[in-house]
Amino acid sequence: MTTKLMTRKTLLLGTLAGSLGLATPALAQEWQNPIAEGYVGGSFGYHTYETEEFPDSREEFDNFEDEHESWKVRAGAQFSEVWGIEAGYTDFGEVADDRASFEAAGVTAGVTAALPLTPKFAPYAKGGYMFWDRNGEDRLLGSRDDDGEDPYYGVGLRVGLSEQLDMRVEYDRYALDEADVDMASVGLNYLF
């Protein structure tokens, strides 16, 4: 291993260990003080769509890549300061290149796990499944409509703005069959 790689690994492991050490009191307390809090929210974002699912001998048609604005809405429940569930709808809009164009959207269902560093500040991770639908047109292959379900995962940061409002900054990775979709978004949640 190179020294640079070892330094990065050591820094990453040290950061993770320090974060867990800071969060241990909050993790222990959350089992003593369960909560039941619901929320609804929405986000606006930007995503990149990339796939290599077109078998073609000409290199210019091997990859499909585009980026576009997107949005999502969600509803969820926190059962503790750490664990929750979330369902949502994500609309990726239309992506296109010289050869093809697609519109895609999906419904998500998953779990969330937060690391509450303060009452108003918590990084979190989430994961689950997306049930998606994609419609498009390919110059060489014709009309193309398909659907499926694939896992998704993401990370984010929750910042409390008030008793009933928080801001979410998220990065999510979705799979739509052979396509990879990476989405960064910012949004708000209303807590009840």
Residues 58 and 82 in one domain: yes
CATH of the domain at 66: 2.40.160.20
Q: Residue 191 pLDDT more than 60?
A: yes
Span 81-108, mean pLDDT?
91
Residues 57 and 12 in one domain: no
Model pLDDT, residue 140: 73
Token code pair at residue 64 = 């499909």
Enclosing H/E stretch for 145: strand 142-160
C-alpha 57 chain-centroid distance: 34
Model pLDDT, residue 1: 47
Residues 169 and 98 in one domain: yes
**Cα angle 167, 172, 177; round to 5:** 150
Residues 137 and 183 in one domain: yes
Residues 145 and 76 in one domain: yes
Least confident of 55-59, 121-125, 127-131, 134-138: 55-59
Least confident of 29-38, 60-69, 134-143: 29-38
Nearest to residue 31, comparing CAs of 69, 71, 68, 83?
83
Residue 162's domain comprises 34-191
Residues 110 and 25 in one domain: no
Pick the more confident residue, 107 or 141.
107
Residues 173 and 142 in one domain: yes
- Give the chain's domain count: 2
Residues 158 and 69 in one domain: yes
Euclidean distance between CA atoms 144 and 77, whole angstroms? 37
Q: Residue 6 pLDDT more than 70?
A: no
